[in-house]
Amino acid sequence: MTAQAHVFDGIPGPLLEALRSLAKTAQLTVALDFDGVLAPLVDRPNDARSDPKSLQAISDLVLLSGTTVALVSGRSLESLRAVSGSPDGVLLIGSHGAEYDLGDGRAGVALTAEEKRALTELERAITGVASRHPEARVEGKPAGFALHTRGLTPDAAQAAQRDASRTIGATLPGVTHRAGKDVLEFSVVAATKADAMHRLRLHTTATAMLYAGDDVTDEDAFAALEPGDLSVKVGAGATVALHRLHGTAEVAQMLRVLASDRRNHLLGA
Protein backbone atom coordinates (compact mmCIF):
# COMPACT_ATOMS: atom_id res chain seq x y z
CA MET A 1 0.00 0.00 0.00
CA THR A 2 1.57 3.23 -1.09
CA ALA A 3 -1.32 5.57 -0.34
CA GLN A 4 0.79 7.44 2.23
CA ALA A 5 3.09 8.67 -0.51
CA HIS A 6 0.16 10.25 -2.31
CA VAL A 7 -1.36 12.01 0.68
CA PHE A 8 -0.83 15.73 1.20
CA ASP A 9 -1.56 16.88 4.77
CA GLY A 10 -4.22 14.20 5.12
CA ILE A 11 -5.72 14.78 1.69
CA PRO A 12 -5.37 11.91 -0.79
CA GLY A 13 -3.89 12.80 -4.17
CA PRO A 14 -7.05 12.09 -6.20
CA LEU A 15 -9.03 14.47 -3.95
CA LEU A 16 -6.36 17.16 -4.33
CA GLU A 17 -6.64 16.85 -8.09
CA ALA A 18 -10.43 16.94 -7.95
CA LEU A 19 -10.30 20.08 -5.78
CA ARG A 20 -8.00 21.79 -8.28
CA SER A 21 -10.45 21.01 -11.07
CA LEU A 22 -13.50 22.05 -9.01
CA ALA A 23 -11.88 25.40 -8.21
CA LYS A 24 -12.04 26.30 -11.91
CA THR A 25 -15.82 26.05 -12.25
CA ALA A 26 -17.76 29.22 -13.06
CA GLN A 27 -20.19 29.11 -10.13
CA LEU A 28 -18.98 27.07 -7.17
CA THR A 29 -21.20 25.92 -4.30
CA VAL A 30 -19.50 24.34 -1.29
CA ALA A 31 -22.07 22.54 0.88
CA LEU A 32 -21.03 21.12 4.23
CA ASP A 33 -22.65 19.06 6.94
CA PHE A 34 -21.95 20.51 10.39
CA ASP A 35 -21.64 17.82 13.07
CA GLY A 36 -18.72 15.50 12.40
CA VAL A 37 -17.54 17.59 9.44
CA LEU A 38 -16.97 21.17 10.60
CA ALA A 39 -17.35 20.38 14.29
CA PRO A 40 -15.90 17.36 16.09
CA LEU A 41 -18.65 15.13 17.49
CA VAL A 42 -19.45 15.81 21.16
CA ASP A 43 -21.77 14.25 23.74
CA ARG A 44 -23.90 17.37 24.25
CA PRO A 45 -25.10 18.90 20.95
CA ASN A 46 -24.99 22.44 22.38
CA ASP A 47 -21.25 22.06 23.01
CA ALA A 48 -20.41 21.46 19.33
CA ARG A 49 -18.25 24.14 17.70
CA SER A 50 -16.68 24.49 14.26
CA ASP A 51 -12.96 23.90 13.84
CA PRO A 52 -11.53 27.47 13.73
CA LYS A 53 -9.39 26.52 10.73
CA SER A 54 -12.49 25.47 8.80
CA LEU A 55 -14.22 28.71 9.78
CA GLN A 56 -11.24 30.69 8.50
CA ALA A 57 -11.28 28.85 5.17
CA ILE A 58 -15.05 29.38 4.89
CA SER A 59 -14.57 33.10 5.56
CA ASP A 60 -11.99 33.19 2.76
CA LEU A 61 -14.27 31.30 0.36
CA VAL A 62 -17.40 33.43 0.84
CA LEU A 63 -15.42 36.56 -0.04
CA LEU A 64 -14.48 35.15 -3.45
CA SER A 65 -16.63 35.91 -6.49
CA GLY A 66 -18.76 33.13 -7.96
CA THR A 67 -18.42 31.17 -4.74
CA THR A 68 -21.12 30.15 -2.25
CA VAL A 69 -20.81 28.23 1.02
CA ALA A 70 -23.78 26.50 2.64
CA LEU A 71 -24.21 24.43 5.79
CA VAL A 72 -26.69 21.56 5.41
CA SER A 73 -27.61 20.02 8.76
CA GLY A 74 -30.18 17.86 10.49
CA ARG A 75 -30.24 20.46 13.25
CA SER A 76 -32.97 23.07 13.33
CA LEU A 77 -31.95 26.39 11.78
CA GLU A 78 -32.05 27.95 15.23
CA SER A 79 -29.64 25.39 16.64
CA LEU A 80 -27.37 25.55 13.58
CA ARG A 81 -27.18 29.33 13.86
CA ALA A 82 -26.38 29.10 17.56
CA VAL A 83 -23.49 26.63 17.34
CA SER A 84 -21.93 26.94 13.87
CA GLY A 85 -20.36 30.40 14.22
CA SER A 86 -20.52 30.68 10.44
CA PRO A 87 -19.59 34.05 8.97
CA ASP A 88 -22.05 36.37 7.20
CA GLY A 89 -22.94 35.22 3.73
CA VAL A 90 -22.99 31.51 4.53
CA LEU A 91 -26.33 29.93 3.60
CA LEU A 92 -27.97 27.72 6.21
CA ILE A 93 -30.21 24.72 5.66
CA GLY A 94 -31.64 22.96 8.71
CA SER A 95 -33.86 20.02 9.59
CA HIS A 96 -32.43 17.91 6.73
CA GLY A 97 -33.75 20.35 4.15
CA ALA A 98 -37.03 21.36 5.78
CA GLU A 99 -35.72 24.79 6.90
CA TYR A 100 -33.81 27.31 4.79
CA ASP A 101 -31.98 30.58 5.32
CA LEU A 102 -30.69 31.42 1.85
CA GLY A 103 -29.80 35.00 2.66
CA ASP A 104 -32.76 36.43 0.78
CA GLY A 105 -34.61 37.50 3.92
CA ARG A 106 -37.06 34.64 3.61
CA ALA A 107 -35.66 32.38 6.30
CA GLY A 108 -37.93 29.61 7.41
CA VAL A 109 -39.50 26.45 6.27
CA ALA A 110 -39.97 25.88 2.57
CA LEU A 111 -43.12 23.80 2.42
CA THR A 112 -44.61 22.39 -0.73
CA ALA A 113 -48.27 23.20 -1.43
CA GLU A 114 -49.17 19.70 -0.29
CA GLU A 115 -47.22 20.08 2.96
CA LYS A 116 -48.91 23.43 3.62
CA ARG A 117 -52.29 21.77 3.23
CA ALA A 118 -51.19 18.99 5.56
CA LEU A 119 -49.98 21.56 8.10
CA THR A 120 -53.38 23.26 8.09
CA GLU A 121 -55.09 19.88 8.50
CA LEU A 122 -52.64 18.99 11.26
CA GLU A 123 -53.37 22.22 13.10
CA ARG A 124 -57.08 21.50 12.97
CA ALA A 125 -56.53 17.97 14.27
CA ILE A 126 -54.17 18.93 17.07
CA THR A 127 -56.44 21.80 18.13
CA GLY A 128 -59.26 19.25 18.42
CA VAL A 129 -57.06 17.02 20.56
CA ALA A 130 -56.10 19.96 22.78
CA SER A 131 -59.75 20.88 23.28
CA ARG A 132 -60.41 17.38 24.61
CA HIS A 133 -57.31 17.50 26.83
CA PRO A 134 -57.15 21.09 28.07
CA GLU A 135 -54.14 20.46 30.34
CA ALA A 136 -51.99 19.43 27.39
CA ARG A 137 -50.12 22.22 25.63
CA VAL A 138 -49.68 22.60 21.86
CA GLU A 139 -46.51 24.18 20.48
CA GLY A 140 -46.29 25.34 16.85
CA LYS A 141 -43.10 24.23 15.05
CA PRO A 142 -41.70 25.23 11.64
CA ALA A 143 -43.19 22.17 9.97
CA GLY A 144 -45.55 20.72 12.52
CA PHE A 145 -46.81 20.74 16.08
CA ALA A 146 -45.72 19.34 19.42
CA LEU A 147 -48.14 18.16 22.08
CA HIS A 148 -46.60 18.69 25.52
CA THR A 149 -47.91 16.65 28.45
CA ARG A 150 -45.46 17.65 31.17
CA GLY A 151 -47.22 18.22 34.50
CA LEU A 152 -50.19 16.02 33.60
CA THR A 153 -50.95 12.88 35.59
CA PRO A 154 -49.55 9.80 33.83
CA ASP A 155 -53.08 8.69 32.94
CA ALA A 156 -54.02 12.09 31.51
CA ALA A 157 -50.75 12.33 29.58
CA GLN A 158 -51.21 8.89 28.10
CA ALA A 159 -54.82 9.63 27.16
CA ALA A 160 -53.86 12.87 25.42
CA GLN A 161 -50.97 11.27 23.52
CA ARG A 162 -53.06 8.29 22.50
CA ASP A 163 -55.85 10.58 21.31
CA ALA A 164 -53.36 12.64 19.28
CA SER A 165 -51.70 9.59 17.72
CA ARG A 166 -55.00 8.02 16.76
CA THR A 167 -56.60 11.21 15.48
CA ILE A 168 -53.62 12.28 13.40
CA GLY A 169 -52.75 8.75 12.31
CA ALA A 170 -56.28 8.28 11.01
CA THR A 171 -56.67 11.60 9.18
CA LEU A 172 -53.08 12.36 8.16
CA PRO A 173 -51.25 9.10 7.51
CA GLY A 174 -48.29 10.91 5.87
CA VAL A 175 -47.42 12.89 8.97
CA THR A 176 -44.28 11.84 10.87
CA HIS A 177 -44.68 11.05 14.59
CA ARG A 178 -41.75 11.51 16.98
CA ALA A 179 -42.06 10.72 20.71
CA GLY A 180 -39.91 12.50 23.30
CA LYS A 181 -39.98 12.99 27.03
CA ASP A 182 -43.44 14.36 27.87
CA VAL A 183 -43.89 15.40 24.26
CA LEU A 184 -45.25 13.99 21.03
CA GLU A 185 -44.20 15.74 17.83
CA PHE A 186 -45.88 15.69 14.45
CA SER A 187 -44.20 16.93 11.27
CA VAL A 188 -45.56 17.32 7.74
CA VAL A 189 -42.11 17.37 6.18
CA ALA A 190 -40.22 14.30 5.09
CA ALA A 191 -37.39 16.33 3.54
CA THR A 192 -33.97 14.80 2.87
CA LYS A 193 -30.60 16.31 2.17
CA ALA A 194 -31.17 15.43 -1.50
CA ASP A 195 -34.00 18.00 -1.52
CA ALA A 196 -31.61 20.47 0.10
CA MET A 197 -28.98 19.91 -2.59
CA HIS A 198 -31.46 20.30 -5.45
CA ARG A 199 -32.75 23.54 -4.01
CA LEU A 200 -29.26 24.81 -3.31
CA ARG A 201 -28.15 24.06 -6.87
CA LEU A 202 -31.07 26.04 -8.30
CA HIS A 203 -30.70 28.90 -5.82
CA THR A 204 -26.96 29.36 -6.41
CA THR A 205 -27.04 28.44 -10.14
CA ALA A 206 -24.05 26.25 -9.34
CA THR A 207 -21.99 24.87 -12.21
CA ALA A 208 -20.36 22.47 -9.75
CA MET A 209 -20.89 21.57 -6.10
CA LEU A 210 -18.92 19.98 -3.31
CA TYR A 211 -20.64 18.13 -0.50
CA ALA A 212 -18.95 16.74 2.61
CA GLY A 213 -20.82 14.71 5.22
CA ASP A 214 -20.20 12.01 7.83
CA ASP A 215 -23.57 10.40 8.53
CA VAL A 216 -26.12 8.09 6.96
CA THR A 217 -28.45 11.00 6.08
CA ASP A 218 -25.60 12.57 4.08
CA GLU A 219 -25.81 9.71 1.62
CA ASP A 220 -28.97 11.36 0.24
CA ALA A 221 -26.92 14.47 -0.52
CA PHE A 222 -24.12 12.45 -2.14
CA ALA A 223 -26.64 10.64 -4.31
CA ALA A 224 -28.06 13.98 -5.49
CA LEU A 225 -24.70 15.12 -6.86
CA GLU A 226 -24.03 15.20 -10.59
CA PRO A 227 -21.03 14.54 -12.83
CA GLY A 228 -18.45 17.25 -12.17
CA ASP A 229 -19.50 17.60 -8.52
CA LEU A 230 -17.31 16.40 -5.67
CA SER A 231 -18.48 14.10 -2.85
CA VAL A 232 -16.45 13.66 0.33
CA LYS A 233 -17.33 11.17 3.07
CA VAL A 234 -15.81 12.08 6.43
CA GLY A 235 -14.86 9.15 8.66
CA ALA A 236 -15.63 5.45 8.40
CA GLY A 237 -18.72 3.74 7.02
CA ALA A 238 -20.22 2.69 3.72
CA THR A 239 -20.76 5.52 1.26
CA VAL A 240 -21.52 6.40 -2.33
CA ALA A 241 -19.12 9.37 -2.05
CA LEU A 242 -16.09 9.21 -4.34
CA HIS A 243 -13.63 10.63 -1.81
CA ARG A 244 -13.00 10.15 1.88
CA LEU A 245 -11.31 12.12 4.65
CA HIS A 246 -10.39 10.95 8.12
CA GLY A 247 -11.95 13.70 10.24
CA THR A 248 -12.64 17.38 10.90
CA ALA A 249 -8.95 18.39 10.83
CA GLU A 250 -8.63 17.03 7.31
CA VAL A 251 -11.85 18.83 6.31
CA ALA A 252 -10.26 22.10 7.48
CA GLN A 253 -7.21 21.29 5.38
CA MET A 254 -9.38 20.49 2.34
CA LEU A 255 -11.26 23.78 2.67
CA ARG A 256 -7.97 25.66 2.97
CA VAL A 257 -6.68 24.03 -0.21
CA LEU A 258 -9.95 24.76 -2.05
CA ALA A 259 -9.95 28.42 -0.94
CA SER A 260 -6.37 28.78 -2.13
CA ASP A 261 -6.98 27.03 -5.49
CA ARG A 262 -10.14 29.06 -6.04
CA ARG A 263 -8.41 32.37 -5.27
CA ASN A 264 -5.51 31.51 -7.58
CA HIS A 265 -7.91 30.54 -10.35
CA LEU A 266 -9.89 33.77 -10.02
CA LEU A 267 -6.67 35.78 -10.03
CA GLY A 268 -5.61 33.94 -13.17
CA ALA A 269 -2.56 32.54 -11.42
Site membership for Mg ion, residue 94 (CB under 5 A): no
- Residue 85: closest CA among 120, 124, 46: 46
Binding residue count for Mg ion, defined by CB under 5 A: 5
Alpha-carbon gap, residue 30 to 33, rounded angstroms? 10
Over the window 103 to 142, marking each residue x when it contacts Mg ion by CB under 5 A and - when it does not, the resulting string is ----------------------------------------
The least distance separating Mg ion from the CB of residue 75, rounded to whole angstroms, comes to: 9
Site membership for Mg ion, residue 51 (CB under 5 A): no
Site membership for Mg ion, residue 60 (CB under 5 A): no
Site membership for Mg ion, residue 35 (CB under 5 A): yes
CB neighbour class for 125 (10 Å; exposed up to 12, middle 13-18, buried from 19): buried
Q: Of the two residues 135 and 215, which places its CB atom closer to Mg ion in the complex?
A: 215
Please check whether residue 96 is in contact with residue 102, taking contact to mean a CB–CB distance below 8 angstroms.
no
Site membership for Mg ion, residue 33 (CB under 5 A): yes
- Residue 30: closest CA among 248, 243, 213, 241: 213
Q: Return the sign of the alpha-carbon dihedral for residues 48, 54, 59, 65.
A: negative
Choosing from 25, 32, 36, 99, the residue that interacts with Mg ion (CB under 5 A) is 36
Alpha-carbon gap, residue 55 to 257, rounded angstroms? 13
Choosing from 215, 244, 249, 266, the residue that interacts with Mg ion (CB under 5 A) is 215
Q: Of the two residues 115 and 214, which places its CB atom closer to Mg ion in the complex?
A: 214
Choose the stretch contacting Mg ion; rule: CB under 5 A; options: 7-15, 61-69, 210-218, 237-245: 210-218
The least distance separating Mg ion from the CB of residue 31, rounded to whole angstroms, comes to: 12
Alpha-carbon gap, residue 189 to 203, rounded angstroms? 20
**Chain centroid offset of residue 252 CA:** 18
Q: Of the two residues 80 and 164, which places its CB atom closer to Mg ion in the complex?
A: 80
Q: Of the two residues 152 and 251, which places its CB atom closer to Mg ion in the complex?
A: 251
Name the DSSP letter for residue 88. T
CB atoms within 10 A of CB 152: 18
Contact residues toward Mg ion (CB under 5 A) are 33, 35-36, 214-215
